[in-house]
Amino acid sequence: MRKDSDDIFNVLEKMKEHELAMAEYYQAWRQVWSAEKDLWMEMEQAEMRHARYLETMIGFILKKPERFEWSRPLKQAAIQTATSGVRLSIHKLKNGEIPMYKAIFTARDFEQSIIENKYGEMIKTDDIEFRSLIGEIVSDTQSHLAQLNKKIKEWTR
């Protein structure tokens, strides 16, 4: 691993914080829109799982740093900005300051953000377990996006 390995750990920690914020966002959805509570709970649990995966991924890198290359780094500031946006939306959602139709578009935007879509490009490795975790995060994110697009389509008929 290159000399900027400290940066990779900081970025992965920030990404973990972002995943936890997304989980909180879906938890807020569950509280506000209880008719779809199973969907929001499923998405919340997936985001919590992503945070655990990031913790595991950090452990893999610490254990065998020579197997990982920091290829397309994300900027910590970009992740922090995205996470701040999620937290602001949580506040607005809980306080009724954002209409439901706008909030679901916001959720979709979060899921298709650069933060959620760069997992597979950030770190190069031949570590199968690491790549498997990334694959699960990417698959869950694609599933979330499809579910949100389905809800949007239902609402805009």
Mean per-residue pLDDT over the chain, rounded = 88
pLDDT of residue 150 exceeding 60, the answer is yes
pLDDT of residue 6 exceeding 60, the answer is no
pLDDT of residue 95 exceeding 90, the answer is yes
pLDDT of residue 2 exceeding 70, the answer is no
Is 0.85 topped by the overall pTM?
Answer: yes
- For residue range 66-84, list pLDDT tens digits in order: 999 888 767 888 899 999 9
Mean pLDDT of 130-146: 92
Q: Report the number of distinct structural domains present in the chain.
A: 1
- CA atoms 105, 107, 110, 112: torsion sign: negative
Q: In angstroms, how far is CA 118 from the centroid of its own chain?
A: 10
pLDDT of residue 3 exceeding 60, the answer is no
pLDDT of residue 89 exceeding 60, the answer is yes
pLDDT of residue 115 exceeding 80, the answer is no
Q: How far apart (Å, rounded) are the C-alpha atoms in residues 27 and 128?
A: 32
pLDDT of residue 1 exceeding 60, the answer is no
pLDDT of residue 4 exceeding 60, the answer is no
- Residues spanned by the domain of 97: 5-155
- pLDDT at res. 122: 84
The domain that holds 14 is classified in CATH as 1.20.1260
User: In 3D, which of 23, 80, 66 has the Cα closest to residue 47?
Assistant: 23
Structure tokens at 14: 């920030």
